[in-house]
Amino acid sequence: MTELKYKRILLKVSGEALGEKTAQGDGFGLDFAKMNEVAASIKSCVDMGVQVGLVIGGGNFWRGVKNGSGKMQRSHADSMGMLATVMNAIAVADVLEQHGLDARVLTAVEMNKFAEYFTRDLANRYLNEGKVVLFAAGTGNPYFSTDTGAVLRGVEIEADAVLMAKNVDAIYSADPKKDPNAIRYSELTYAKVLEDGLKATDVTAMALAMDNNMPMVCFGLGEENSIIRVVRGEKIGTTVTN
């Protein structure tokens, strides 16, 4: 068996990363070619013996704090965002099953017509059985992002690391698209990220990871075989630890 650095992971993939590109550059809807690429990488990880928990963002359909700002009550907008993550999880689970994987969707709010209700013990059992577990509906509460939901689930399932697959290949000191002098980091501490206000995840997610000593790797989903390379321990992206 290939040597693995991480044997149980919580992988977070942004919704936009799975969406079709628009004129504005944001991913919208579902790009099944991208979804199949991600599913193929996850299957390779599972075949190597990695237990995979997965969180998909909802920004390719609706981002509550952004799309509803000034137009809707925040809790209502965030509820729509949670439902967007459920749609994505169901779609990705279907694609994973087409690749021969057994995938289960667990939601933070009860909706038994579409998915099973999350409990830590159920998730742990499915992971030990080799199933890919998709965690949907965030934390089940407004005002919390899917990044926070991903770290929370990672801590609950006692993952070896939370892997944040982003549209950017690492954490930078500034937006590299706007600032050519932005510094690219390969390693950081949680304290440094929080003190400098680096745009990696939201503050709540980073603080939760720090408090629970949960390693986090932020890397570019678009890089070839990036998910597989991370679980093998290749130094790509930015690793954040205490």
pLDDT at 2: 60
Beta-bridge partners for 117: 107
- The rounded distance, in Å, linking the Cα atoms of 3 and 8 is 13
Q: Annotate 93-117 with three-state secondary structure.
A: HHHHHHCCCCEEEEECCCCCCCCEE
pLDDT per residue of the chain (242 residues) written in tens, 0 to 9: 568 999 999 999 999 889 988 776 678 899 999 999 999 999 999 999 999 999 999 999 998 878 888 899 999 999 999 999 999 999 999 999 999 999 999 999 999 999 999 999 999 999 999 999 999 999 999 999 999 999 999 999 999 999 999 888 999 999 998 999 999 999 999 999 999 999 888 999 999 999 999 999 999 998 999 999 999 999 999 999 99
Burial of 4: CB neighbours in 10 Å, binned 0-12, 13-18, 19+? middle
Count of beta carbons in the 10 Å neighbourhood of residue 179? 11
What pLDDT is recorded for position 25? 63
Q: Is the Cα torsion angle 160, 139, 210, 202 positive or negative in sign?
A: positive
Contact of 128 with 157, CB cutoff 8 Å: no
| Helices and strands (DSSP H and E) totals, the chain | 8, 13
Instruction: Supply the pLDDT for residue 167.
Output: 84
Q: Which amino acid does the sequence have at 115?
A: A
Q: Which amino acid is at 167?
A: N
Closest by CA position to 238, among listed 166, 147, 189, 171: 171
pTM score of the predicted model: 0.94
First and final C-alpha spacing in the chain: 30
CA distance to 28, 125, 152, 199, 229, per residue, from 226 (Å): 22, 27, 23, 20, 5
In the chain, what are the domains? 8-241 (3.40.1160.10)
* DSSP letter, residue 186: S
